[in-house]
Amino acid sequence: MRKITSQFSTYLILLIAAVIPFLTSACNEQTIDSSKFTTVDSIEMPLPDVVEIFALSCGHCRNIEKMLRELEQKAGISIHKMHAVFNERTANEAYLYYSADIQLPPVQKQRAEFTEHLFDLIQSPASAQFSNGRELYLKELFQLYDITNPEQLTQEQHEKIISLSRQSQDLVNAVRLSAVPTLIIKGKYIINLGAHRSLDDLQKTISYLLNS
Q: Domain ranges in the chain?
A: 1-30, 32-210
Helices (runs of H) and strands (runs of E) counted in the chain = 8, 5
**32-210: CATH architecture:** 3-Layer(aba) Sandwich (3.40)
pLDDT of the residue at 130: 65
- As beta bridge partners, residue 52 has 81, 183
Q: What is the mean pLDDT of each run of 10 residues along the chain (212 residues)?
A: 50 44 45 90 92 97 94 93 97 97 93 94 74 82 94 96 97 93 96 94 95 88
pLDDT of the residue at 32: 83
Q: Whole-prediction pTM value?
A: 0.82
Burial 112-142 (b: 16+ CB within 10 A, else e): eebbebbbbbbeeeeeeebeeeeeebbeebb
pLDDT of the residue at 62: 96
pLDDT of the residue at 11: 47
Helix (H, G, I), strand (E, B) or coil at 105: coil
**Complete edge-to-edge strand list for the sheet that includes strand 189-191:** 37-39, 189-191, 182-185, 50-54, 80-83
